[in-house]
Amino acid sequence: MTLGYFVTGTGTDVGKTRVSCALLHAFGALGKTVAGMKPVAAGRENGKWRDVELLAAASSITAPYEQMNPYALLPPIAPHIAAEQSGVDIDIAVIRQAYLELRKIAEVVIVEGIGGFLVPLNDHQDSGDMARALGLPVILVVGMQLGCLNHALLTARAVRATGLPLAGWVANRIDPQMIAFEENVLALQYRLECPLLGVLPFERVPDIKRLSTFISLSDIVPGYR
């Protein structure tokens, strides 16, 4: 049985790629074959899409690039605007087919969203529609900083409105100077009503394999030991 999870965040630059890679390493440590997927990437650096490269490095199998990243857009802006400027129409059916192909070769597929959960992909669909088309339980990455409580609770409400299960959440410390960090984590534990899968410490240059040890899979893996 292939496991799949959709990783979303409370916004942009909150650590979705970091957490997605950590999840890949954590599942890999269980002996699973793992594949990362970034359906839509916007913003090329030095000729590469950095998030896709990191997910590929954390994967244990090699998949065709177009399956891991069906839409690679040049401008580092909102995906629907980047797609329009590039003359591209983001088609969720294409993304779903790429995901199904990855399922054939990996036991675990981690799909990283783009931006926040409701970021538009085209004129009539958003990232939430993509997650629903894939039918995956959602893991929420909360960038721990001032204002994260409201962002996290609104995102959780949006996820549940799609009918998808919120499998768990990860607290990613992106502001090392955040006041009352532990109290904010506790407030979200009480209110999000889903398992806390891990608390990742701040690291300016992250060691993803080490960070994966802060992730607990016991609440989301059937038959976990």
Contact 23, 212 (CB under 8 A): yes
Domain 3-212: what homologous superfamily? Answer: P-loop containing nucleotide triphosphate hydrolases (3.40.50.300)
Strand order in the sheet with 108-112: 34-37, 108-112, 3-9, 138-144, 166-173, 196-200
Contact 159, 117 (CB under 8 A): yes
% pLDDT > 90, the chain: 92
User: Residue 137 pLDDT > 70, yes or no?
Assistant: yes
User: Residue 166 pLDDT > 70, yes or no?
Assistant: yes
Instruction: Give the C-alpha separation, 108 to 37, whole Å.
Output: 11
User: Residue 153 pLDDT > 70, yes or no?
Assistant: yes
Residues catalogued as catalytic:
38
| Confidence label for 221 from pLDDT (cuts 50, 70 and 90) | confident
Token pair 């990996």 is at which residue? 106
Q: Is the pTM of this model over 0.85?
A: yes
Query: Of 140, 137, 136, 139, whose CA–CA distance to 148 is shortest?
Result: 140
* Mean pLDDT score, 76-88: 94
Other beta carbons less than 10 A from residue 109's beta carbon: 30
* Mean pLDDT score, 49-54: 94
